[in-house]
Each structure stands twice: as structure tokens, then as C-alpha cells.
Amino acid sequence: MEQLDTPFLIRLFRAVALQLEEHREQLCALDGEIGDGDHGTSMANGFAAVARLGQRPETRALAPAAFLRQAASVFLGDVGATVGPLYASALLQAAKLYDTRPDLPVEELALLLQALTDGIAARGKADPGDKTMLDAWLPALSAAQQARGEGALAADQARAAAIAAEEGAQATITMIASRGRAARLNERSLGKLDPGAVSASLILSCFAELLASPAPGPGEA
């Protein structure tokens, strides 16, 4: 059975980096409507740095926990914006999961999503409906957990999570921001998509795409 191991995480972060680079300008434009306009740059640059970390030969030999801790440090070091600590916390929480579960079968995907979501929630202290990235991460986690409970394969868990994340991101257009810089706008944030939720949905789509593809053979990245 395929594992959610370091090679998997390296492939994931490479896909995330490419996805966010493709949507860099869109995310910046969304953030320009309710924030500082730099969300796309922060996310694309941060995950590009993590992807470069994964290209180092010595990195591939690391256990997942060690790799994720290095990834958190690299992301935080490259991203000075608010999003830096949030995703660094997500990666560190995932590292703690691998401290207790060094071998994580692919069908336990929901556990990895829970760790990432818990890290963001603990750092950001936002609630559902606050118009933040958690409005994508939380429904994605719930959908993955439900699918796992029904015995779904990892690819189906990931697909359910991606669909729920996209729906959650789109739902932020009906919300009034109460966290982050967008909260300064109060009712004026209504009718705008939250860029953090949109970028989260892009990240979760990478899980779905990766798990829908055949696993690479030996020696392939």
C-alpha cells in the first residue's frame, strides 16, 4: 500500500507550488480587494521554497517528521506575511502526527488533513464563518473524515475534501470578515471571496489530483 511518506510529501508540495504560481495574480487580486494584495505572492513564494527543499538529495532521505519541520522553517523564513505562521504551524502539527505515526498508510489521509487543519486553527484562532482559510479547510476535513468513515479509498477522500474546500471558499463571498486585515472592512468585506480560503482550496485540489494519479515507480519523483 502506498504511504503518505516523504516522497509523497515532496510530490505534493511540488504540485502545490505549481498550482499557486499559476494562480499567483488571481490570489493577489482577491487579496487586493480586502487585504494587502500580497497573498498570492506569499503563498506562491512560500511553497516554491518548500518545493526547492524537496529537490535536495539529502532531503529525500529524511523521515516525514523531520522533513515537515524543515519545510515549516523554510516556509516561515520565506514568508513574512500573516500566512507564514499559519502554514508553518500546520506543517509542524503534521510533523507531530508523524512522530506518533511514522508509517501513515495512504488510506489515513484524513489524519494528515486533520493535523494540518488543527495547526492552522490553533495558530489563527478563527471560527467557522469568520471568512478565513478555515472556511475551506474545515469542511474539507469533515468531508474527508466522513468518506474515511464510509470506507472510501484515499483518492475518494481527497476528492470529497477538494469539493468541500471549493464550496467552502465560494461560500466566503456571503460572509463578513471578523479576523485578519479584512476585518477592518466589516460589512464592506461582504461580497468578496476570501483569498486564504481560495488558496486553501487550491492546495486541497492538489491532494485530489495527486492521489488520482498512479504512484511513481522506484526512483521516480
- 134, three cell numbers: 478555515
Taking only the tens of pLDDT, the chain with its 221 residues reads: 489 999 999 999 999 999 999 999 999 999 888 778 899 999 999 999 999 999 999 998 999 999 999 999 999 999 977 899 999 999 999 999 999 888 899 999 999 999 999 999 999 988 898 899 999 999 999 999 999 999 999 999 999 999 999 999 999 999 877 666 655 655 656 678 999 999 999 999 999 999 998 666 555 55
0.85 surpassed by pTM: yes
Neighbours of 26 (CB within 10 A): 16
Q: Which pLDDT score is estimated for 101?
A: 87
List domains and CATH numbers for the chain.
Answer: 6-212 (1.25.40.340)
Q: Which pLDDT score is estimated for 176?
A: 72
CA nearest neighbour of 32 among 198, 207, 216:
198
